[in-house]
Amino acid sequence: MRIIRTFGMAAGVVALIGLTVSAVGQAAAAEVRGWRTATTEHFVVQAVLNDAQLTELGERCEALLGELRAKWFDDGVATDWAPRCLVVVHGSAATYLQAVPGGERTLGSSWIETKEGKIVTRRVDLRADRVDWFAGALAHELVHVLLADRVGGYPPARWAEEGLAILADPTDKQQRHEADFRAAAAQGGEFRLAEMLGHTEYPDATRITAFYGQSASLVRFLIKFRTPADFSAFLKHSASYGYDAALRSTYGINGIADLERRWLNSVHSEELAIR
Ligand SMILES: [Zn+2]
């Protein structure tokens, strides 16, 4: 069984003490009095809410899923979506951290399990004790869940999935990630693309904010260059044939070095400004 755990990182956080990125120990559902669930077409939502509130939450999840599919995956055809995605809305840090060990500095987390190439678990945990938790974290985590579908349960590279998920974040959060990247770059702490694209896991805590910010910048560039659907196709292609070949066939870009040159030109112009 393969497990993909992602974290929705708070941007602009300098200290990341206690961040753990190993995908071990998915906790059993935390013991909370009053947990209730509601089932919709694509989700099981779990929260301490009354029936009307749960129904509304399920409807908002469905609406958001539809928006994200249309915007980032150009997906008019419903993909096979079994099992439903469990969305657990935590009212406190305590139950969230039981479910997401090591997630002290995170706002949300996604959990995908695959077995023999098929997705057998989709789960999102969210901290609802944070301001603006719905827009601030759920869209990001659902992009992770949708991307796992799109690449057939194959774990996408960390830079690619975090970069794309950040593009679904609210504008101010994206701007903070961009500022993290620019601050790192000003001190020579940015990644060379050959290194960044080679990361199959998250980098260590000292470089993770730069990694999130730079990943978002690169994905913003690639999506502006072609389309979101082309970006998914590129990821799938690169998993089989490597980045250089996939860059040539999808984008007409002559390998990673050429990508780096073009992307840096955009970074130094105002082309990638977040508005
Ligand atoms: Zn993420």
Determine how many CB atoms are found less than 10 A away from the CB of residue 216: 27
Cα–ligand 1 centroid distance for 77 (angstroms): 25
Radius of gyration from C-alpha coordinates of the chain: 18
CATH T-level assignment (fold) for domain 2-155: Glutaredoxin (3.40.30)
What are the structural domain ranges in the chain?
A: 2-155, 159-268
Tell me what pLDDT residue 8 has.
Answer: 66
Q: b vs e for 137-160, b when ≥16 Cβ sit within 10 Å of the residue's Cβ?
A: bbbbbbbbbbbbbbbebbbbbbbb
Does the pLDDT of residue 165 top 90, yes or no?
yes
Q: In sequence order, which residues have a C-beta less than 8 Å from that of residue 127 and are 6 or more positions away?
A: 90, 93, 96, 106, 107, 108, 133, 137
* Contact yes or no for 248/256 (Cβ under 8 A): no
pTM: 0.85
Mean pLDDT of the chain: 85
Cβ atoms 274, 175 nearer than 8 A: yes
Q: Tell me whether strands 85-90 and 118-127 are parallel, antiparallel or unpaired.
A: parallel
Q: How far is the CA of 177 from the centre of ligand 1 (A)?
A: 12
Provide the pLDDT confidence category of residue 72 given band limits of 50, 70 and 90: confident
Return the pLDDT at 59.
96
Q: Give the pLDDT mean for 68-72.
A: 89
With a CB cutoff of 8 Å and minimum separation 6, the contacts of 23 are 3, 4, 5
Mean pLDDT value of segment 106-119: 88
d(CA 160, ligand 1 centre) in Å: 10
pLDDT value at residue 26:
41
Give residue 203 CA to ligand 1 midpoint distance, Å.
14
Candidates 155, 88, 89, 153; CA nearest to 123 is 88
Residue 1 pLDDT more than 60?
A: no
Question: What mean pLDDT comes out for the span 69-90?
Answer: 81
Query: CA angle at residue 199 from 187 to 189, to 5 degrees?
Result: 0
Q: Work out the pLDDT band at 267, boundaries 50, 70, 90.
A: very high
Å from CA of 94 to ligand 1 middle: 21
Ligand 1 centroid–CA 187 distance in Å is: 25
pLDDT per residue over 250-260, tens digit each? 999 999 999 99
- Centre of ligand 1 from the C-alpha of residue 61, in Å: 17
- State the pLDDT at residue 79: 62
When mean pLDDT is compared across 72-76, 136-140, 222-226, 248-252, the lowest value belongs to 72-76
Question: What are the pLDDT digits (tens) for 26-69?
Answer: 444 445 678 999 999 999 999 999 999 999 999 999 999 999 99
C-alpha 42 – ligand 1 centre gap (Å): 20
- In this predicted model, which residue has the larger pLDDT, 19 or 68? 68
Q: State in Å: Cα 33 to ligand 1 middle.
A: 29
Token reading at 34: 């009053």
Closest CA relative to residue 229, chosen from 247, 250, 215, 252: 250
